[in-house]
Amino acid sequence: MKEKVIFTNGLIDLAQPRLGTKVIYKTDDFFASANRIISPSIPVFKDGVFDKHGKWMDGWESRRKRTSGHDYIILKLGKAGTISKIDVDTSHFNGNQPAMISIEGAFANSNKINELKWVSILTKKKIKANSHHFFSVKNKKNFSHIKFNIFPDGGVARLRLYGSIAKSKKIKNKRINLASLLDGASVIACNNEHFGKAENILAPGKAKNMGDGWETRRRRDKGNDWLILNCIDGSSIDKIEISTHHFKGNYPNYCSLQAAYLPLKNSKKIVSSSSKWKYLLKNTKLSANKTHTFRNSSMKKEKINHVRINIFPDGGISRFRIFGKKI
- Separation of alpha carbons 152 and 85, rounded Å: 24
Looking at the domain assignment, is residue 7 inside a domain? no
Q: Check residues 188 and 9 and name the one with the higher pLDDT.
A: 188
Q: Is 6 within a domain?
A: no
pTM of the model: 0.91
* 232 occurs within a structural domain: yes
Which of 101, 134, 165 corresponds to the end of one domain? 165
Write down the pLDDT at residue 50. Answer: 95
Q: Are residues 317 and 187 in the same domain?
A: yes
State percent of the chain over pLDDT 90: 88
Cα gap 162→199, rounded to integer Å: 13
Residues 146 and 235 in one domain: no
Q: Yes or no: say if 259 and 307 are a contact pair by the CB < 8 Å rule.
A: yes
Secondary structure of residue 177 in the 3-state scheme: strand
For residues 128 and 212, state if they share a domain: no
Domain coverage including residue 54: 12-165
89: helix, strand or coil: strand
Residue 276: exposure state from Cβ atoms within 10 A (0-12, 13-18, ≥19):
exposed
281 lies in some domain? yes
Residue range 110-125, pLDDT digits in tens: 888 889 999 999 999 9
Does residue 178 sit in the same domain as residue 158? no
State how many domains the chain has.
2
CATH of the domain at 203: 2.60.120.260
Average pLDDT, the chain: 94
Q: Which residues contact 325 (CB under 8 A, 6 or more apart)?
A: 173, 174, 175, 176, 234, 235, 236
Report if residue 2 sits inside a domain: no
Say yes or no: 77 and 175 in one domain.
no
The reported pLDDT for the residue numbered 170 is 66
Q: In the prediction, which pLDDT does 135 show?
A: 98
Of 165, 188, 212, which residue constitutes the final position of a domain?
165
Q: Indicate whether 250 and 200 sit together in one domain.
A: yes
* Shared domain check, 286 and 309: yes
pLDDT for position 92 = 98
pLDDT at 1 over 60: no
> What does the alpha-carbon distance between residue 16 and residue 31 come to, in Å, rounded to a whole number?
22
Q: Are residues 97 and 202 in the same domain?
A: no
Confirm whether 4 is domain-assigned: no
pLDDT at position 101 over 90: yes
Q: Is the dihedral of CA 290, 296, 298, 304 positive or negative?
A: positive
Residue closest to 5 by CA, chosen among 271, 197, 289: 271
User: What local confidence, expressed as pLDDT, does residue 327 receive?
Assistant: 87
Same domain, 303 and 322: yes
* Average pLDDT for 300-306: 92
Q: Given a cut of 70, is residue 169 above it in pLDDT?
A: no
206 and 149 fall within a common domain: no
Q: Are residues 247 and 198 located together in one domain of the fold?
A: yes
pLDDT tens-digit profile of 19-68? Answer: 999 999 999 999 999 999 999 999 999 999 999 999 999 999 999 999 99
Residue 320 pLDDT = 98
Cβ-based neighbour number of residue 8 at 10 Å? 21
Report if residue 1 sits inside a domain: no
Residues with Cβ within 8 Å of 48's Cβ and at least 6 positions away in sequence, in order, are none
Are both 118 and 179 inside the same structural domain? no
Neighbours of 124 (CB within 10 A): 12
Residue 59's contacts (CB-CB under 8 Å, 6 or more residues apart) are 32, 36, 37, 43, 89, 90, 91, 92, 93, 155, 156, 157, 158
CA dihedral 224, 228, 231, 237 (to 10 degrees): 30
* pLDDT over 80 (residue 274): yes
Last residue of a domain, one of 165, 199, 231: 165
User: Residue 5: inside a domain, yes or no?
Assistant: no
